[in-house]
Amino acid sequence: MQAFANEFTVMAQQRLDAANFRTRSLVELNLPLIQVAETVDNKPVEFQVYGDPNSARIIVIEPLPYSVRLSDESQQVHLAAKQEVLGEEYCMVGVQPYDPKKARYSFKELIKISKGDSRPMAERILAVIGMLPIRDDQELILQGYSLAGDISIETANLLLTDKNRGIRRVDRLHVTEYARGKKYQHKLVGAITVAMAFNNSGGDLFSSIVAGDARALLEATGIDPMDSKAEKKHKSKVMWGVLAYAFSDMPATAAGFLGAATSTSFDQLNDMGASSSSPLIRALRMDRSLICLPPFTDSLTPHDKLKTFVEPGDHATGNDLIRETGFTLRAALS
């Protein structure tokens, strides 16, 4: 296990400051339009492209975590920050793997997800990859945080094991705080444990946003740091948003929690490591995480294409604008 030395977070902050990113407003960021791809069963998948996929040397694709919507401008600010630190040689693509209002899971898909199979979500990432003009001379990086990490693992594994998809495989896989890492004897207990861990490890999202000190991010989240009630208002807004998302499709939420109580991601990472065609894999966890515990990364079978890391923080650390862009730099440069 390699100790975290803050080099990528420091680099991310330096690059954002050099570009005056944190002083820019939402209008000044000129965020790209949301595009729509379709899965093989005609379900819409929303995505956004930052940078030029035609001239970029490396394409970075990132599914968004649970309950996060691509229409949320604060998420778009995070994606724009990642593109800023990566530079013109890269193209950053954000994908919303699930929309409970526009593209619900079928009953068969819910059963798969409840058993720890993220293929229904991975298929939506594949729809976007297939739509992008990715050439053989370009490199493809897939990264994800929390549930998006599990989706990224599933996607990379599908492209490695299914040769008939006609989509090129992933060159590098970077996952942070993936959830499907422990198999519980009683899945209901496991699901409750995961749900409680998400609740207890929420961290201080408000402080993370304020610490990022980005004008566009404060605008997008409606936070006025001078308002004495800003923190209370924001926490209520976030809680309501998560609950509204969860209750908009309870079967999918329940299936997701049950699926997280499996060791599927852990098993797939080990399986990929045994393949001569394995992508370069970086697995990272937070030292105070209640979701991704030490055995999840410590017990992975070592191989020459795998590196594991630990960083200070809890499961909510990915909400920090600077830290999250640092994760992206690690995925791109290490």
For residue range 55-78, what is the model confidence (pLDDT) as tens digits?
999 999 999 988 788 999 999 999
CA distance 154 to 233: 37
Mean pLDDT across 239-251: 85
Query: What is the DSSP secondary structure assignment for residue 59, as one 8-state letter?
Result: E
pLDDT attached to residue 212: 75
pLDDT attached to residue 1: 36
Query: What DSSP element (H or E) covers 306?
Result: strand 306-311
Quote the percentage of the chain above a pLDDT of 70: 96
Question: Among candidates 202, 201, 197, 172, which has minimal Cα distance to 182?
Answer: 197
pLDDT attached to residue 20: 95
CB-CB contact of 61 with 142 (8 Å) = yes
* Domain membership of residue 158 as a residue range: 2-333
Query: Could you write out the DSSP letters of every residue in 145-210?
Result: ETHHHHHHHHHHHHHHH-TTS-SPPPSEEEEES-STT---SSHHHHHHHHHHHHHHT---HHHHHH
Q: Report the relative pairing of strands 2-3 and 35-38 from DSSP bridges.
A: unpaired
pLDDT at residue 3 greater than cutoff 60: no
Domain count, the chain: 1
Q: What is the pLDDT of residues 253-306, one digit of tens each?
A: 999 989 989 999 999 999 998 888 899 999 999 888 888 888 888 899 988 899
3-state secondary structure of 112: helix
Cβ count within 10 A of residue 282: 21
Q: What is the pLDDT of residues 175-213, one digit of tens each?
A: 999 989 988 888 888 777 777 766 655 556 777 788 777
Q: How confident is the model at residue 143 (pLDDT cuts 50, 70, 90)?
A: very high
For residue 296, what is the domain's CATH number? 3.40.50.1820
CB-CB contact of 181 with 267 (8 Å) = no
